[in-house]
Every structure is written in structure tokens, then in C-alpha cells.
Amino acid sequence: MRELNTYVRTYLAPSKIAGVGVFALRDVKKGDKLYADMMTKLYNLPYDNFPDLHPEVAEQILGQWPQVVNGSAFAYPTTRIQAYMNHSDTPNYDAVNDVALEDIPAGTEVTEDYRKIEGAEKVFAFLKN
């Protein structure tokens, strides 16, 4: 449970920037890690133990894996979060070092600077401008 309470820090939602984005599940302090490139792990946590999780973490997991109430195992994260992170010229997250560049309030979109990705201008035409 400690591991989930630590690692479950973001969620995916519609973005005003583009398509789907990554959002802070709870307040993230400047310098905190987001574990955005974490590999998927299988958890077998009994539903009776869910009250020991942070409420927003339990809600996030149950929203994706409702069969947990029936004893099913679940995977977290279900996808590599960093694949959904949108670009900003003034990012609040450093994807290279996995660190928040500033305080990120819960519900705020987490953004990175695509220019830090070698060769990104070949993929993202808007970076050439």
C-alpha cells in the first residue's frame, strides 16, 4: 500500500492543449518525482485493504479495475504516463530527470518541454517555428 500511495500521482484526462493529457492526482511539490516512466506491475491487494490507501489512489484504481472488489488483481500503471504528456514552452515537469519544476496543484495538467527530446523537431513540426 505504501508503494501505491507513493507512485499513483497522476491520471489521464481530456486536455485543453491536445487530446489527452496527464494531470496531477494530488498536489505535487516542486522537486517531487512523478514516476511517469514507471513499468507496469501487477498488484494483488485485497479490497478490504483499500481503506488504507489514499482516497484518490483507491478511486483511481477502482475506476480502472472494478473487479478488485471481487478479488481480482490489477496492474498499475496501465500505460506509460509519459506517452500522454503534452508540450509546453513553460513546462511544470522535467521528463529527463522525472522532477516537478514547480508546485503542481491537484487537477493541473502536467507538461514537459518536447525540445528536450533529441530530434523532436523531426516529429513535432510546430517546434521548428
> Domain extents for the chain?
2-41+80-128
Q: Are 88 and 127 in contact (CB under 8 A)?
A: no
Of 5-9, 47-51, 89-93, 124-128, which gets the smallest average pLDDT?
Answer: 124-128
Q: What is the pLDDT of residues 46-72, one digit of tens each?
A: 999 999 999 999 999 999 899 999 999
Q: What is the CATH number of domain 2-41+80-128?
A: 2.170.270.10
pLDDT above 80 for 3: yes
Q: Where are the beta strands (DSSP E) in 2-83?
A: 10-14, 20-24, 41-43, 74-76
Of the chain, the percentage scoring pLDDT greater than 70 comes to 99
Of the pLDDT bands very low, low, confident and very high (cuts 50, 70, 90), residue 126 is: confident
**C-alpha distances in Å from residue 47, one per residue of 32, 66, 80:** 29, 10, 25
pLDDT above 80 for 88: yes
Helix ranges, 40-87 (H)? 55-64
SS3 14: strand
Q: Are 90 and 101 in contact (CB under 8 A)?
A: no
Of the pLDDT bands very low, low, confident and very high (cuts 50, 70, 90), residue 129 is: low
What is the average pLDDT score of the chain? 91
